[in-house]
Structure 1
């Protein structure tokens, strides 16, 4: 596995962890509301939904970390979880904000390509 693939995959995992923090713990704070463009009342009303969404990002990060930990044997696991992140990013871009395509899907797609080429 190439260093580039490892770094890109780790970056995607760290991004997923950051999304977990934003959605589970910072959703109703000024930082969270500013990041997602939310009114205070709406942020409060959707707090539980955001926490659930953040938890799923944590699962993606855990899967990517698992794949990295396994090294060469984790190739399929890394591709699977990177693919999940790409799909989530494309869906988010289509339904919520186009920005998600560049913040979530593109880094995961680049990590997928690097992982595939490193094999």
Structure 2
């Protein structure tokens, strides 16, 4: 049951990062303006390439998380999930410290919950 919950969280975190990829790579000068209201509007166009690069990294995180869900070996599934959730958590904590506290709740907290669930499953 705990592992199933962890996998659901991993799926949610992966979907969030696919959304971030789409927003940063393909909708930076349109929809992202509504999402990132504190970012000065005149900076969206000049930072379009930087945002796309950031979106690509979010895509890699999503790919790793999805990979963790389809690995056949249950032990490696947990290890890979822990690695990619840890990457997301670190990025979310860094973002919360340097950019916006909201990033912690949206990015780091779900990853940390997933990590806790995976560790709980490992040690039960």
The two structures have a TM-score, normalised by structure 1, of 0.94
> Match for residue 33 of structure 1?
33
Q: C-alpha deviations, 1:50-95, integer Å up to 9, x for none?
A: 0000000000000011111115132111101000000000011111
| 1:50 maps to 2:51 | yes
Deviation at 1:3, TM superposition (A): 1.0
| CA–CA separation in structure 2 for the residues paired with 1:3 and 1:75 | 11
The two structures have a TM-score, normalised by structure 2, of 0.90
Deviation at 1:41, TM superposition (A): 2.3
| 1:101 maps to 2:116 | no
For structure 1, the 5+ residue unaligned runs are none
> Match for residue 87 of structure 1?
90
> Match for residue 116 of structure 1?
119
Choose 32-41 or 59-68, whichever is displaced more.
32-41
| CA–CA separation in structure 1 for the residues paired with 2:3 and 2:90 | 24
Choose 69-78 or 6-15, whichever is displaced more.
69-78
| CA–CA separation in structure 2 for the residues paired with 1:85 and 1:74 | 17
Kindly report structure 1 stretches of 4+ aligned residues shifted beyond 4 Å: none
Paired residue total: 118
> Match for residue 9 of structure 2?
8
| CA–CA separation in structure 2 for the residues paired with 1:85 and 1:45 | 26
> Match for residue 20 of structure 1?
21
Aligned residues: CA RMSD = 1.2
